[in-house]
Amino acid sequence: MAINFDEIIDRNHTQSFKYDTARESGMGFNAIPLWIADMDFRVPDSVTAALVKRTQHGIYGYSTIDDNYFDAVRSWFAKRHSWNVEPHWLVTTPGILPAVAAAVSALTKPNEAVLVHTPAYDRFNITVEKNNRRLIKSALILKDGRYEIDFDDFEKKITKNSVKLYILCSPHNPIGRVWTLEELTQIGGICLKHGVKIISDEIFCDFVHAPNKHTVFAGIKQEFADITVTCTAPTKTFNMSGLAISNIFIADDDIRDDFNDKLLANGIMGGGILPMLACRAAYENGAEWLDELLVYLAGNIAFVRNFLRDNLSNVKLIEPEGTYLLWLDFREFGLWANELKAFTAYDAGVILSSEAGAEGFLRVNAACPRSVLEKAMTKLAKAANAR
């Protein structure tokens, strides 16, 4: 491998949410933070070079996207996801969450219902509720170790609550499903039938483990594109969440106008110059880095799978089809909710994430050097066996 993903880079005292917040909340340097979804790997060299070049210029005035930027984004989605986007569909925002919030307020009125599949990325729930919309949950069903959509429940909840908007997370954080073409087509059919619009958050689209394949929801057919706000970003893919840039695609003119109005109303403008240059450099020159990273991550996932089988067999890995997040089933372990999280953080010294409503499960961020993962898993097994 040309890129050394094994390198341990000290992220303490770098204003890192993942590292410094954990330390400030009293967990000390010894706790291994495998929680929030950013990676411990350095961005591709091409991204660093683009940023260094611009910092040497030294002027960071108001900036705009240009043809080169659009071409880099267009070509990434055409090559990697067989999805062709038009220039006028693109709206850039400083992150996906501002776009989700703008889309929620553009596509629904106060007190109208927005549906999510649970367990869900908790910021969706917060965004919906803080905008005074009703949050409707349809639980994914865990069947033979794999989560599935309960389509009857999905449709019933839509009709019963007059749901106006559905937030699709594809691939799904935290449970790691990569939705199939058939599932996405069924979702789209139900939404079209009941006049439900869709936010399709595809931030994890570049992390898909073979033989699974990511399908861009809006690329399936025009009718789906016409009701959808597709949220994409280079930030998860290339580990630059701190640069806050995302590319939102909206094919329908009316939806895009309403969305832009909400951005204006809230004073939200597209990304800054450094994020835009980083995005362009990553999409133009980062494909090889990503391909190597995906091989490395597959090795990390295999390590956790084997480790649990051999050392911690009452904790089950929900086999991830996508993302770098591993959803672990601790239900046989006998600890629940906060007790479980406290056990892993304080007894084992490994900081993991939980999601509301998914007691007995914790999420491991496996995007770190393998030696760190080995250390974390060993700490977890040692504390578990000492109980």
Ligand X SMILES: Cc1ncc(COP(=O)(O)O)c(C=O)c1O
Q: Which residues of this chain interact with ligand X, rule CB under 6 A?
A: 37, 95-97, 121, 169, 173, 201, 203, 233, 235, 241, 246
CB contact at 8 A, 173 and 323: yes
Considering the complex, state which of residue 198 and residue 312 has its C-beta at the smaller distance from ligand X: 198
Considering the complex, state which of residue 204 and residue 289 has its C-beta at the smaller distance from ligand X: 204
Q: Please name which of 343, 357, 349 lies closest in space to residue 315, comparing C-alpha atoms.
A: 343
Considering the complex, state which of residue 40 and residue 201 has its C-beta at the smaller distance from ligand X: 201
Structure tokens at 273: 């110059």
Shortest distance, position 95 Cβ to ligand X, whole Å:
3
In whole angstroms, what is the distance from residue 384 CA to residue 334 CA? 11
In whole angstroms, what is the distance from residue 281 CA to residue 31 CA? 34
Partners of 200 in beta bridges: 168, 230
Shortest distance, position 224 Cβ to ligand X, whole Å:
19
Q: How many beta carbons lie within 10 A of that of residue 266, not counting itself?
A: 11
Shortest distance, position 63 Cβ to ligand X, whole Å:
18
Considering the complex, state which of residue 241 and residue 354 has its C-beta at the smaller distance from ligand X: 241
Considering the complex, state which of residue 199 and residue 376 has its C-beta at the smaller distance from ligand X: 199
Q: Please name which of 101, 110, 169 lies closest in space to residue 137, comparing C-alpha atoms.
A: 169
Shortest distance, position 188 Cβ to ligand X, whole Å:
19
Considering the complex, state which of residue 203 and residue 335 has its C-beta at the smaller distance from ligand X: 203
Considering the complex, state which of residue 322 and residue 369 has its C-beta at the smaller distance from ligand X: 322
Shortest distance, position 313 Cβ to ligand X, whole Å:
29
In whole angstroms, what is the distance from residue 208 CA to residue 101 CA? 26
Q: How many beta carbons lie within 10 A of that of residue 83, not counting itself?
A: 23
Q: Please name which of 127, 133, 120, 132 lies closest in space to residue 175, comparing C-alpha atoms.
A: 120
Shortest distance, position 172 Cβ to ligand X, whole Å:
8
Shortest distance, position 231 Cβ to ligand X, whole Å:
7
Cα–Cα distances in angstroms (integers) from residue 359 to residues 166, 308, 364, in the given order: 24, 20, 15
Partners of 363 in beta bridges: 327, 353
CB contact at 8 A, 229 and 165: no
Residue number of the CB atom closest to ligand X: 95
Shortest distance, position 305 Cβ to ligand X, whole Å:
22
Helices 151-161 and 181-193: crossing angle in degrees, nearest 10, is 20
Beta strands in the chain (DSSP E): 32-33, 90-93, 113-118, 134-139, 141-143, 146-148, 163-169, 197-201, 228-232, 246-250, 316-318, 325-329, 350-351, 361-365
Shortest distance, position 16 Cβ to ligand X, whole Å:
14
Shortest distance, position 309 Cβ to ligand X, whole Å:
27
Alpha carbon 383 to its chain's center: 30
In whole angstroms, what is the distance from residue 59 CA to residue 61 CA? 6
Considering the complex, state which of residue 96 and residue 373 has its C-beta at the smaller distance from ligand X: 96
Structure tokens at 158: 């839509």
Considering the complex, state which of residue 37 and residue 348 has its C-beta at the smaller distance from ligand X: 37
In whole angstroms, what is the distance from residue 102 CA to residue 287 CA? 31
Considering the complex, state which of residue 275 and residue 286 has its C-beta at the smaller distance from ligand X: 275
